[in-house]
C-alpha cells in the first residue's frame, strides 16, 4: 500500500494527525519557554551569589611551637610577660639562646633555642633562669623544652653502621638508651635540649626535635607587677 500524499504517514493518519509535525514541535521546550514553578529552588551560579550565600568563616590562628630555653612557663604567659630584655641571651655561656625570627609571628624577638646552630647544654646552675627578671624562665617548673625522635631510616646505627655520637654526647643521663648499638630516645627522660640533633653525623639528620606543645604555668601565678 502506498503512503498517503502530502508527507502524511500512515501512522499520522491513524493518530488523527492530518498535517505533518512541524520541526518546532519536535524540539523539547527550553527553560525560557515557560516560567518555572514557584516551588523550584534556584541555586546561585555566579561567584558573587556564592560569596553571599556562603557563611563567614573565621580562620583559627594557632601559636607556632617554639623551642624555649629551660624553665619556660606556658606559652601565653611567656608571650605576655617576656620583656625581650636579652638577659637570658647574654647569660647563656654557650650562645644557645637566640631571638625568634619574624616567621614566628607574635613570638618574633623572644628567646628560643636553635639546636642546629647551638643546642642547650643543660648547665647545672641554669644561668639563663637566674638572669630572667620577669620570671618566664623559672626553676619552679621542669627544664623540659621538648623531646627528640630518631628516624631509623636515616640513622647510621639503625642502618647497620657504627655511630655513637648522640648517646655519647647527650648531657642528660638516661635520655638515650642503646640496644645492640642502636640508640632510642627515652621520652620520659629527654628534655629536648637538641644536643643529639646537633651532633648527628648522618648525611640527612636522623634526629627530629619537637618543641613542647604545652608547658606548666608559673606556680607563683601571674608574673605581672602588682599595681
Q: pLDDT tens across 40-60, in order?
A: 445 444 445 444 444 454 444
Q: Would you list the domain boundaries of the chain? A: 75-211
Angle at CA of residue 111, ends 106 and 116, nearest 5°: 110
Asked which of 50-64, 69-83, 121-135 is least confident by mean pLDDT, the reply is 50-64
Question: pLDDT category, 61, cuts 50, 70, 90?
Answer: low
Q: What is the mean pLDDT of residues 4-28?
A: 52
Q: Is the pTM of this model over 0.75?
A: no
d(CA 189, CA 141): 15
> Bridge-partner residues for 147, per DSSP?
210
d(CA 42, CA 31): 12
d(CA 6, CA 52): 58
Query: What is the CATH number assigned to the segment(s) 75-211?
Result: 3.30.70.20
Its sign, for the CA torsion 189, 193, 195, 196, is positive
Amino acid at each position: 500500500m502506498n503512503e498517503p500524499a502530502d508527507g502524511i504517514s500512515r501512522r499520522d493518519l491513524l493518530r488523527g494527525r492530518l498535517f505533518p509535525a512541524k520541526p518546532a514541535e519536535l524540539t523539547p521546550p527550553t527553560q525560557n519557554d515557560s516560567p518555572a514553578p514557584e516551588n523550584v529552588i534556584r541555586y546561585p551560579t555566579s561567584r558573587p551569589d556564592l560569596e553571599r550565600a556562603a557563611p563567614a568563616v573565621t580562620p583559627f590562628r594557632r601559636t607556632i611551637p617554639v623551642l624555649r630555653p629551660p624553665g619556660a612557663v606556658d606559652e601565653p604567659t611567656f608571650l605576655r610577660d617576656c620583656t625581650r630584655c636579652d638577659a637570658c641571651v647574654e647569660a647563656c655561656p654557650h650562645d644557645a639562646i637566640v631571638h625568634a625570627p619574624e616567621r614566628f609571628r607574635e613570638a618574633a624577638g623572644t628567646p628560643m633555642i636553635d639546636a642546629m646552630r647551638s643546642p642547650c647544654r643543660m648547665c647545672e646552675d641554669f644561668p639563663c633562669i637566674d638572669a630572667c627578671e620577669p620570671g618566664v624562665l623559672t626553676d619552679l617548673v621542669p627544664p623540659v623544652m621538648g623531646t627528640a625522635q630518631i628516624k631509623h631510616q636515616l640513622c647510621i646505627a639503625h642502618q647497620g653502621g657504627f655511630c655513637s655520637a648522640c648517646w655519647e654526647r647527650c648531657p642528660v643521663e638516661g635520655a638515650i638508651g642503646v640496644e645492640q648499638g642502636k640508640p632510642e630516645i627515652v621520652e620520659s627522660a629527654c628534655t629536648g635540649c637538641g644536643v643529639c640533633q646537633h651532633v648527628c653525623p648522618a648525611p640527612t639528620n636522623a634526629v627530629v626535635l619537637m618543641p613542647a606543645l604545652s608547658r606548666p604555668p608559673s606556680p607563683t601565678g601571674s608574673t605581672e607587677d602588682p599595681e
